[in-house]
Amino acid sequence: TVVNLKPEEHWRPGMTMDKLIAEMDEALRFPGVANSWTMPIRGRLDMLSTGIRTPIGIKVFGMDLAGIERLATQIETVVQAVPGTTSAFAERITGGFYLDIAPDYDALARYGLTVGEVQMVIATALGGELVTTTVEGRERFGVSVRYPRELRSDPQRIATEVLVPTPGGAQIPLGQLTDISVSKGAPSIRTENALLSAYIYVDIRGRDIGSYVREAQQAVNDQVTFPPGYYVTWSGQFEYMERAAERLKIVVPLTLVLIFLLLYLNFRRLTETLIVMLSVPFSLVGGIWLMWALGYNFSVAVVVGFIALAGVAAETGVIMLIYLDHALAERRAEREAAGEQLTVADLYQAVITGAVERVRPKMMTVVAIMAGLLPIMWGTGTGSEVMRRIAAPMVGGMISSTVLTLVVIPAIYMLVKQRSLR
């Protein structure tokens, strides 16, 4: 059902996506139907990639349709009790009704008919046959002919009302030439990895996918007994998350190693490299705080933001050390020109001078980055949900990184140089 709303008539201040979904979920409740709310494009992409259109899907595999459906309904009941579940629906893969029309070969031979001729009559009378095309202006419409609905609504009417012409010109009811019955079967048969399967669609709200799936998996393992040859897999967006987690296990350490290597190639000293590397975890603190304040869950977009934050934090730390090294080198040159030794007081004054000189460039860097990211944080257009989660770690991390660069790094630098000086 497509509902068109006029903004000026239906818009209410303070309306959010969660509130809209809650109101629609409350208003649209039908027996035997489960609601699942997703975006059209994302739902199609998920459907093409994994076959699951909801955030989380459970695939039940086995060798027997009845056994698979029994397990699927049990899992549906268990998952509905997990906190955060808004809907859970298991496919019904048995219980479909089929109209079976089996030819009576003796009767066909008696009237001189073939199976193909009877099948042609059945296809035309029940399914319809395209006989012509009507032209209405620039439009073309196909015209199909078949029996009216009241003559093909039940097996008895089909047996008596559908007539089969014979070579002799007689019209024989279909019931005299075939055995018509209604049987039960599978509405659809789904296979995957050479096994029969059934899908369970699960929609969640207010929880992250990772923690929800862990709790749901534990509940299913505790309350559902799987016979030999039957098992389940978890799919949907959870499958994307697992793939991303496997890649991030390689990307994140590789990023830190590359940052460390570039810093070492720049300073050629392990001490300065380690001092700058301290800025990376310290900057993550601000990003985590802001995520907690905004109520964001950990996701791939957040990890991307943290990776970008690590590079920016290392860059600002490098600039601070460069200023400190320049100030210390100038103070040492002054003492050497005067024929004196560098003292702890000189070191302290050099660190103060270098840190003060770094305030303006550091604030300019932070203000420029914040000015570019804050509009993303306030955005509400298409894709803003992902962009906000990329920008949030960087915005929060720049605040804590500023404190680190202006206060902590000079103090650590002072302690290290003081020890080497002694």
For 406, residues 6+ apart whose C-beta sits below 8 A from its C-beta are 320, 355, 358, 359, 362
Q: What is the pLDDT along the chain (422 residues), one digit of tens a residue?
A: 334 444 444 456 666 767 777 777 778 777 766 677 776 766 676 666 667 777 788 899 988 888 888 899 899 899 988 888 888 888 887 777 888 999 999 999 988 899 999 999 999 888 888 889 999 888 999 999 998 888 888 888 888 888 889 888 889 998 899 998 888 877 778 888 888 888 888 888 777 788 888 889 899 989 988 888 899 988 877 777 778 888 888 888 888 888 888 888 888 888 888 888 877 777 788 888 888 888 887 777 888 888 888 888 887 788 788 888 888 888 888 888 877 787 888 888 888 887 777 777 777 877 888 788 777 777 666 667 778 888 888 888 888 877 777 777 788 888 888 777 76
Give the domain ranges of the chain: 36-94+189-239, 96-184, 269-421
Query: What is the CATH number assigned to the segment(s) 36-94+189-239?
Result: 3.30.70.1320
From the options 3.90.1580.10, 3.30.2090.10, 3.40.50.300, 3.40.50.1100, give the CATH code of 96-184: 3.30.2090.10
Comparing CA positions, the residue from 87, 54, 89 lying closest to residue 72 is: 89
pTM for the full predicted model: 0.59
Comparing CA positions, the residue from 156, 158, 176, 153 lying closest to residue 166 is: 176
Q: Please give the full DSSP string across 132-192, using - where no structure is assigned.
A: EEEEETTEEEEEEE---GGGSSSHHHHHHH-EEE-TTS-EEEGGGTEEEEEEEE-S--EEE
* Homologous superfamily, domain 269-421: Multidrug efflux transporter AcrB transmembrane domain (1.20.1640.10)
Q: Which amino acid is at 6?
A: K
Comparing CA positions, the residue from 313, 324, 326, 332 lying closest to residue 415 is: 324
Q: Which residue carries 């207010």 as its tokens?
A: 206
